[in-house]
Amino acid sequence: MKSITKILLNAEESARLYFEKTPFIQAFLAGIGVIIFWRGIWEWLDMNQVSPVTSVVIGSLILLCVGVFVQTFIGNTIIIKNVEQEERFEKKAIKQMEGEVDSEEVTLSSLSAQLDELARKIDERNS
C-alpha cells in the first residue's frame, strides 16, 4: 500500500511541476476533475444514469494527473506540518550557529589577549 501511495504521490508531484507553467490549464482541468469526482459521489448516492464508480475513478484520475488530488481532498495540513518542521529545524540550526559564533568570539578574545601578552613580553625584552 505504501508503494502505491508513493507512486501516486510522485505522479501527482510530477504533474504539479508540469502544470506550474500553465496554471490556467491546471485550474480548468482541476475544476473538471472536481466536478466529475463530486458528480460521481452524487450519482453514487442517487444511483442514476452514469456509473458513479466510473465518475469517481475518472475524476480522481484527472485530479491526480493535474496534480491537485491530495491538495484538494487532504488540504494543506501536510504542507503546514512540513513548513512547521522546517521552521523548527531552521531555528535549531540558527541557535547552533549562534552558539558557534559565541564560542569563536571567546576563542578570538582569548587569542587577542594572548597576543597582547606576547607583544608586552617582546616589548619588555627589547627595552
Cβ distance 18 to 64 under 8 Å? no
Q: Do 9 and 61 have their domain in common? A: yes
Q: Which cell numbers in the block locate residue 119?
A: 607583544
Q: State the pLDDT at residue 20.
A: 79
Q: State the pLDDT at residue 41.
A: 76
Count of domains for the chain: 2
Q: State the pLDDT at residue 44.
A: 66
d(CA 66, CA 22): 11
- Run means of pLDDT, 10 residues per run, the chain, 127 residues: 80 81 81 85 68 74 75 64 81 77 70 81 80
Q: Do 65 and 96 have their domain in common? A: no
Q: Do 24 and 61 have their domain in common? A: yes
Q: State the pLDDT at residue 28.
A: 85
Q: Which domain holds residue 15?
A: 1-75
Cβ distance 70 to 9 under 8 Å? yes
Q: Do 7 and 25 have their domain in common? A: yes
Q: Do 17 and 66 have their domain in common? A: yes
Cβ distance 68 to 30 under 8 Å? yes
Q: State the pLDDT at residue 84.
A: 80
Cβ distance 12 to 29 under 8 Å? no
